Amino acid sequence: MSNSQNWPTWVEISRSALKHNLKQYNNIKAKNSQIAPVLKSNAYGHGLIECANLLKNEPIWGFCTVNLSESLILRHFGFSGRLLVLSFVDEDLSLGIKKDITFSVYSQKFARKLNSLARKLNKKVKIHLKVETGTGRLGLWPEDFYNIVKKISKMKNLSIEGVFTHLADSENANWNFTNKQIKRFNQILEKLKKENINIPLKHMACSAAAIGHSKIHYNLIRLGLSLYGLYPSEAVKKRVKDKYNNFSLKPVLSWYTKIIQIKKLPAGHNIGYGCSYKTKTKKKIAVLPVGYWDGYDRHLSNKNFVLIKGQRCSVLGRICMNMHMVDITPIKNIRVGERVTLIGCDGSEKITVEEMAEKIGTINYEIPTRINPLIPRIICQ
């Protein structure tokens, strides 16, 4: 049990589960490949600084962030290792250059700007070139890639450290489209080799793709969702079972709150906004200080459960901005301040991220990522 008595709601991050999941991928990676944990979006909701602290001394290449802000936060908190911005720059670019942050480049214009600022600051900046192979997002077109590489190679204040792409459909059981992307990327690598252009790092594998085939591990894997103990899809989960005997993931995140009021309601009493639930019999309900502001999705209204004393308790009425209500009628000896499990285990019962995602018609990624970053993340064993 964590030191959580001062918080109305809190998230617990399991140190052992996080390190276990990293080890699973270290066990299956290609011999010459390294792993770069992806800490974007507050480490998929698990806590940017908290997860960085837990992983900084593990056998990793460095960290990936989605933008410059995240990398600067890590530098501010003393992380001196490699930091790669995977996507966009949302802060003072000069500050990122001064802090020795590595940037993704997906346009000549950005490369020129980066080179110009680096020259003024008398710095040399490491960059990774992102190539478009089918996701239709950020990236240089393959048709233009070689000419752009040659132009960027002449920019004296830039050092091309890596080349990468992003897969659009590797979570799917059918890899027809993924194989097309792999082919396009390999063609680019072959052309670079033919032109005697040496770029040290090549990467395209995410959590799902890394399980697919070691041939696309190259020498770097960007490990995102599965680092936190979640499978990107049921197809990936099946792929793991078919391919690896001893591979397993452990969910890193649990989410808790406390009862702030208990009240008895008569039959025919409405609960919550919109009067969306009316009691048919006498009910004993608990009011919980968690709502959609906290990241507890409003679409879970009248259809979700929480765990109290190892029992499932139904959510009654609409999720409010800062509260919601649950049915505790069957539970005896319950009191204000009792711990409530929103995500995680209590005895033999559990509430999973996947269960919640299915109820609101979304993917498991969205559930932890949307937990309000202001809610404390507490490290536990």
The torsion defined by the Cα of 319, 320, 322 and 324, in degrees rounded to 10, comes to -50
What is the model's pTM?
0.95
**Average pLDDT of the residues in 112-138:** 97
pLDDT band at 307 (very low <50, low <70, confident <90, very high): very high
Q: What is the pLDDT of residues 79-104, one digit of tens each?
A: 999 999 999 999 899 999 999 999 99
Would the pLDDT of 4 be above 90? no
Written as six digits, the tokens of 208 are 């799902």
Would the pLDDT of 2 be above 70? no
Question: What are the CA-CA distances from residue 248 to residues 52, 54, 69, 212, 257 (Å)?
Answer: 22, 20, 33, 15, 28
Would the pLDDT of 15 be above 50? yes
In DSSP terms, 131 is beta-bridged to: 140
Q: Is 143 exposed, middle or buried (0-12, 13-18, 19+ CB in 10 A)?
A: exposed
**Average pLDDT of the residues in 353-371:** 98
Written as six digits, the tokens of 366 are 């969205």
In angstroms and rounded to an integer, the radius of gyration of the C-alpha atoms of the chain is: 24
Distance from the Cα of residue 45 to its chain's centroid: 6
Per-residue model confidence (pLDDT) at position 198: 94
Q: What is the pLDDT of residues 196-216, one digit of tens each?
A: 999 999 999 999 999 988 999
**Is 244 labeled as catalytic in the residue annotation?**
no
pLDDT band at 6 (very low <50, low <70, confident <90, very high): confident
Annotated active-site residue in 23, 120, 193, 273: 273
Annotated active-site residue in 40, 130, 202, 258: 40
Q: Mapped to the 3 state alphabet, what secondary structure does the chain carry?
A: CCCCCCCCEEEEEEHHHHHHHHHHHHHHCCCCCEEEEECHHHHHCCCHHHHHHHHCCCCCCCEEEEEHHHHHHHHHCCCCCCEEEEEECCCCHHHHHHCCCEEEECCHHHHHHHHHHHHHCCCCEEEEEEECCCCCCCCECHHHHHHHHHHHHCCCCEEEEEEECCCCCCCCCCCHHHHHHHHHHHHHHHHHHHCCCCCCEEEEECHHHHHHCHHHCCCEEEECHHHHCCCCCHHHHHHHHHHCCCCCCCCCEEEEEECCEEEEECCCCEECHHHCEECCCCEEEEEECCCHHHCCCHHHCCCCEEEECCEEEEEECCCCCCCEEEECCCCCCCCCCCEEEEEEEECCEEECHHHHHHHHCCCCCHHHHCCCCCCCEEEEC
**Is 273 labeled as catalytic in the residue annotation?**
yes
Computed over every residue of the chain, the mean pLDDT equals 96
Spatial distance between the Cα atoms of 354 and 82, rounded to a whole number of angstroms: 32
Per-residue model confidence (pLDDT) at position 3: 52
Helix 48-55 to helix 15-28 angle (10° resolution) is 60
Written as six digits, the tokens of 308 are 């109290």
**Average pLDDT of the residues in 327-350:** 97
Per-residue model confidence (pLDDT) at position 1: 44
**Average pLDDT of the residues in 238-247:** 93
Sign (positive or negative) of CA dihedral 105, 107, 108, 113: negative
Encode burial over 164-198: b for 16+ CB neighbours within 10 A, e otherwise. bbbbbbbbbeebeebeebbeebbebeeebeeeeee
Q: Is 337 exposed, middle or buried (0-12, 13-18, 19+ CB in 10 A)?
A: exposed
Residue 210 CB coordination number (10 Å): 25
Q: What is the pLDDT of residues 164-201, one digit of tens each?
A: 999 999 999 999 999 999 999 999 999 999 999 999 99
Cβ-based neighbours of 80, under 8 Å, separated by 6 or more: none
